[in-house]
Amino acid sequence: MPTLNKIWTAFAGPSRRQARRQDRRQLRPPTDRPLLSLRRLRAALTVFFALDGFVFAGWVVRIPAIKHQVGASASALGLALLGVSAGAVATMLVTGRLCRIFGSREVTIGTAVLLSLSVALPPLTPSALTLGLVLIIVGIAYGGMNVAMNSVAVDIVAALRRPVMPSFHAAYSLGGLIGAGLGGVLAAHLTPTRHLLLLVPLGLAGTFFAGRVLMAYELPHTAGAAISARARAPFGRSAGLLVGVFGLIGLCTAYGEGALAEWGPLHIELDLGGGPGTAAAGYAAVALAMTVGRLSGTALLERLGQTRMLVAGGLTACGGMLLAAFAPYVWLVLIGFGVTGLGLANIFPVAIARAGALGGSEGVATASTLGYAGFLLGPPTIGFLADAAGLPTALTTVAVLAALSAVIAFAVRNMSVGADT
């Protein structure tokens, strides 16, 4: 029968049913399969960003309890937190090259596994010294994962040809919000050890399922070839200068995000007398505001452009942080944290995306190293300043650097190749 059908078709032409099938094939857009692959890749990478925020927030909201457990002063805790900074910055310096050798997706998965395992270590330490040593491992995982994830995100943004980078960072903020909320609920019922051990299987399960999808699909051939060529080509002096400028903008604002993550809860607890649940709400307010801001980030970028977005964000964060630092009531501090989060929300994603567009994975690594250096160096800096001048005064440095990022973005508005004003 199949042979007779082929003979009949050869002489009489296709049947009506076959003709309709051929018409549907012709009408079907040729990019359906690549677009489906991009959507699935984007979804899988979104899970990794959310997982990163969730696991890190779990550690952050238990810092006050761990500080009490090891008996550390503010300056000793700040020195211990330097372990995260040292591990992350050292790893970021080489992660761009590792992504070129092994692949950004492979590095993302490997560092996600390490982060999920290492988050259980801090509450097991008996002193500030051992806490700092353990946090080096956390920093290695955290720093490597952030560079690798952003490198994959830059490739997907280029393939989609839409400024969707804020949506990935929205997932990070949403993960942080969920992690902080869960930590606030569990703070009254579980020790830090049991709480953070609970995050290990959750992190590993998320990595397994999202990693399978991330490795199952490739970028469209033409987009992937163009991205790979850009990543291999060394960027010139002018592009390198701009990458450094965007990295500096990222540093100024990530400093504030890191400071609020680790000292915001302590500000509420130590200066305003809030309990552990209220202290966790401080970080949750920042995470919620940043999530909302980043979910609307793509639309705002398409409407306002990069320069207006960066300037408005920096000035908004400056005003919000001044309110949060000196307000005498917890509810006013929470509002200040929320305003600060809205201002900071899209500055770092825009800076990293622009650096990646200029220099590929090496550009992402360079700007991320500068940016996350601010994120990770902010907490210990705040610790030393808090001992010297008080925590509210120390937190004003967040406002100063946010305003500085707005000034830098406005000053280089005509240097940004391809950026609108």
Tens-digit pLDDT string for the chain (421 aa): 445 455 445 444 455 555 544 444 443 444 455 666 888 899 999 999 999 999 988 888 888 888 888 877 777 887 888 888 788 888 887 888 888 888 889 999 999 999 999 999 998 888 888 898 999 999 999 989 988 998 899 888 888 888 888 889 889 888 887 887 888 788 778 888 888 999 999 999 999 999 999 998 776 544 444 444 444 445 556 677 888 888 889 888 888 887 887 788 888 877 877 777 777 777 778 878 888 898 888 888 878 888 888 899 999 999 999 998 888 888 888 899 999 999 998 898 888 888 877 777 677 778 878 887 787 677 778 888 888 888 888 899 999 999 999 999 888 777 654 444 4
Q: Where are the alpha helices (DSSP H) in 217-346?
A: 221-232, 237-266, 276-295, 297-304, 306-326, 330-344
Please report the domains of the chain, with CATH numbers, ordered by start residue.
35-411 (1.20.1250.20)
First-residue to last-residue Cα distance in the chain: 67
Spatial CA neighbour of 196 closest among 133, 136, 122, 265: 122
Query: By C-alpha distance, which of 152, 99, 123, 89 is closest to 378?
Result: 89
Three-class SS state of 257: helix
Tokens for 390, please give them: 């008080």
How far apart, in whole angstroms, are the C-alpha atoms of residue 195 and residue 190? 6
- pTM summary value: 0.73
- Tokens representing residue 391 in the block: 């925590």
Of 104, 187, 175, 108, the closest CA to residue 142 belongs to: 108
Q: Which two tokens stand for residue 208?
A: 């397994």
Backbone φ and ψ of 419, nearest 5°: -90, 145
The residue type of 211 is: G
